[in-house]
């Protein structure tokens, strides 16, 4: 269920819908919303979509939409309950009036020519592209430029087999996609918080996408993954969240492979990711993982350093005297 306020109502069909997805981002949402309203392109539909924020985010969105006098059609909506990333995406896709959807996050900034460049690329492909991404500029929480982020070129992933061998490096905050990614495969499963990988996979299975080699988004760094973890309990919480999300993504990929009749591709690397996630989650659930537990998992998945360092870092925090043996603290 949603609530919605429409500004500058019209029945006109638009070439693109720009969705600004927000949740408790009152400190950054005004700049993010303004970057959407300032798109220098043909008139488009702009939707400020809030996932039941408990702070002042929604009020700021309503205020900005009410004051807007530009060419774009702007509306504000809010979920009655907090849906989470996957279901918020599903809701946005179901309500978009255009077939081509551009997404933006409430703490990022879109370049003024972002939508124009996306539409240019999409039309040049005669509507063939199902996913268009771009490079990004990394910024810190205060907006300081941290440098260019070059994401993977989606055109190098033209099919499901290629994606299953090695997934691309992508940032969902730079995505624009065709509704076909949802009409063919259905909605995202609840719990899929890494939607960028699922969408890049779906695009690959339908013929691939394109990465525009220009920084069209200022991508704000921050959050739990970017800061040091001060204690074992918090580290385990972070690790549990990480591998729960990874499990959800690859479970979704397995389901999507079945949808296109290529389930055999899930029996190799995809199955290993699922097994790895389940093993780590089982280990983390233990009250007191032993050194042998940590050693076993790090050896079994020796090609997955993320697991090794996460678990060994926890080990050092829980057993600081171990640093004498290993020589240094992680």
The domain of 318 spans: 229-326
Same structural domain, 185 and 41: yes
Q: pTM score, two decimals?
A: 0.83
* Percentage of the residues of the chain whose pLDDT score is greater than 90: 67
pLDDT attached to residue 326: 42
The mean-pLDDT minimum among 31-35, 79-83, 115-119 falls in: 79-83
Same structural domain, 213 and 260: no
Same structural domain, 262 and 300: yes
Domain end point (choices 173, 189, 222): 222
Nearest to 90 by CA among 186, 199, 6: 186
DSSP symbols for 128-140: --SEEEEEEEEE-
Same structural domain, 27 and 162: yes
Contact 103, 195 (CB under 8 A): no
The helix (H) or strand (E) run that includes residue 149 is: strand 145-149
Q: Name 125's Cβ contacts closer than 8 Å, sequence gap at least 6.
A: 210
Same structural domain, 208 and 300: no
CATH code assigned at 140? 3.90.550.10
CA 1 distance to own-chain centroid: 23
Distance CA 24, CA 48 (A): 13
- Residue 5: pLDDT band (50, 70, 90) is low
Task: Please give the backbone phi and psi of residue 218, each rounded to the nearest 5 degrees, phi first.
Answer: -95, 110
pLDDT attached to residue 139: 93
Q: What is the pLDDT of residues 123-175, one digit of tens each?
A: 999 999 999 999 999 999 888 999 999 999 999 999 999 999 999 999 999 99
pLDDT attached to residue 210: 97
Task: Please give the backbone phi and psi of residue 307, each rounded to the nearest 5 degrees, phi first.
Answer: -65, -45
Nearest to 4 by CA among 73, 69, 55: 73
Q: Name 39's Cβ contacts closer than 8 Å, sequence gap at least 6.
A: 18, 46, 72, 110, 112, 113, 114, 115, 116
SS3 (DSSP) at 82? coil
Same structural domain, 56 and 162: yes
- Is 50 exceeded by the pLDDT of residue 83? yes
């Amino acid at each position: 269920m949603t609530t919605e306020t429409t500004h500058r109502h019209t029945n006109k069909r638009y070439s693109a819908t720009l969705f600004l997805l927000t949740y408790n981002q009152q400190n950054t949402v005004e700049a993010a919303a303004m970057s959407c309203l300032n798109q220098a392109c043909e008139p488009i539909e702009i939707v400020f979509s809030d996932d039941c924020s408990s702070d002042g985010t929604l009020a700021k969105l309503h205020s900005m939409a009410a004051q807007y006098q530009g060419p774009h059609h702007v509306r504000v909506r809010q979920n009655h309950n907090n849906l989470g990333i996957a279901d918020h995406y599903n809701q946005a896709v179901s309500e978009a009036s255009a077939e081509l959807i551009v997404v933006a996050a409430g703490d990022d900034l879109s370049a003024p020519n972002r939508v124009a460049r996306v539409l240019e690329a999409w039309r040049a492909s005669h509507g063939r592209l199902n996913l268009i991404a771009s490079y990004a500029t990394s910024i810190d929480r205060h907006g300081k430029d941290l440098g260019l982020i070059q994401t993977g070129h989606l055109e190098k992933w033209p099919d499901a087999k290629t994606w299953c061998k090695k997934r691309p490096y992508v940032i969902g905050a730079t995505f624009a996609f065709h509704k076909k990614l949802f009409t063919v495969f259905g909605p995202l499963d609840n719990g899929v918080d890494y939607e960028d990988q699922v969408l890049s996979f779906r695009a690959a299975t339908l013929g691939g996408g394109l990465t525009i080699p220009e920084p069209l988004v200022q991508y704000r760094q921050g959050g739990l993954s970017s800061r040091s973890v001060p204690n074992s309990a918090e580290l385990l919480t972070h690790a549990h969240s990480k591998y729960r999300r990874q499990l959800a993504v690859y479970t979704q990929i397995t389901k999507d492979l079945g949808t296109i009749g290529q389930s055999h591709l899930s029996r190799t690397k995809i199955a290993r990711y699922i097994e790895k996630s389940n093993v780590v989650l089982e280990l983390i659930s233990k009250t007191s993982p032993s050194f042998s537990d940590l050693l076993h998992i790090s050896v079994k998945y020796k090609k997955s350093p993320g697991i090794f360092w996460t678990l060994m870092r926890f080990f050092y925090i829980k057993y600081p005297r171990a640093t004498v043996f290993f020589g240094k603290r992680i």
